[in-house]
Amino acid sequence: MNFHATTDKQKKKTRRRARPRLTLAAKIGLIILLLHGLVAILGPVLAPESPAEIVSDDSFLGVGECGLLGSDYLGRDLYSRMLHGARMTIGTALIATIAGFLIGMALGFTGAEVGGWVDNAISAFVDLLISFPPILLSLVVIVALGNSLLVLVATVAVIHAPRVARVGRAIAMDVATKDFVEVARTRGEGLWSILSREIWPNTIRSLAAEFGLRLTFSILFLSSLSFLGLGIQPPTADWGVMVRENMSGLLYGSGAALFPAGAIASISVGINLVVDWIVEQTGQEISGEMLK
């Protein structure tokens, strides 16, 4: 009995050691992301006013003078617009990142596993897309097709896909040389089975770090387009739009532009804190390609 009890204790200790422990920075990052996620989901329900409704005749009222955060340049409730803008900003960036990530992984994993002329063709296509600067590519697409929400999401997804494909291909090629993948090939498993059962589960952690970086890029990039007037258009509540609309309030001592800018900065910091923890757990350094 004592021997079995000792063995069970050793197993429990081993399991505890195997579990990755969250650092303080990672906990802070997760709390930030959780708060932003809740706001994005529940924001429109919690907002006391409509995002387009003018609630005051005075613009750039201070904190507490009109709602919780004051009013914007048209006298709209800034707090309500912030809550509505969270869903638009985070939701659009998340959808675009997921779409680009799925396309990029499909291309990268297929090239790594199939090899030969298929890999060469995918690599050439990826290099061609990467050669276009993201801002230039987005300007060309938006001018040609307009700046609808679908076009914006598709544009960001196309920008992500080749970069994810390059990183995914490098990771998949390393996993593809492992013995368990060779055994799967020997058993005669098909391409989809090898990609989904053998390669994908063993690349999740590394790709999770890449996904976090891509999500940060999506939020900043879409907000930048909105700030330039090329992204989401008013009166839709979007944090990038809100920064541009209320820039003149800084001349009058209003912080109307600082609240959405602070929200963009905080979620970016939260994502990067979690990404840094994931990278530490994998024992890998973020490559230059992942930072592009």
**What is the C-alpha to C-alpha distance for residues 135 and 79, in angstroms, rounded to an integer?**
31
Q: pLDDT grade, residue 292 (50/70/90)?
A: very low
Query: Which residue, chain included where needed, has tokens 């076009």?
Result: 151
**What is the C-alpha to C-alpha distance for residues 146 and 139, in angstroms, rounded to an integer?**
10
Q: Is residue 127 part of a domain?
A: yes
Query: In the predicted model, what is the mean pLDDT of residues 88-104?
Result: 93
**What is the C-alpha to C-alpha distance for residues 136 and 141, in angstroms, rounded to an integer?**
9
What's the predicted TM-score (pTM) here? 0.82
The pLDDT assigned to 9 comes to: 47
* Number of structural domains the chain divides into: 1
Q: Is residue 161 part of a domain?
A: yes
The CATH number for 210's domain is 1.10.3720.10
Residue % of the chain over a pLDDT of 90: 30
Q: Is residue 156 part of a domain?
A: yes
Triad 118, 122, 126: Cα angle to 5°: 170
- pLDDT tens-digit readout, 36-58: 999 999 988 888 888 888 888 88
Q: Is residue 292 part of a domain?
A: no
Q: Is residue 7 part of a domain?
A: no
- State yes or no: pLDDT of 270 exceeds 90: yes
Q: Is residue 194 part of a domain?
A: yes
Q: Which helix (H) or strand (E) holds 129?
A: helix 116-130
The mean predicted confidence, pLDDT, of the chain is 82
Q: Is residue 229 part of a domain?
A: yes
Q: Is residue 11 part of a domain?
A: no
Can you give the residue range of the structural domain that contains 112? Answer: 23-282
- pLDDT tens-digit readout, 186-240: 777 776 777 767 777 777 777 888 898 899 999 999 999 988 888 888 888 889 9
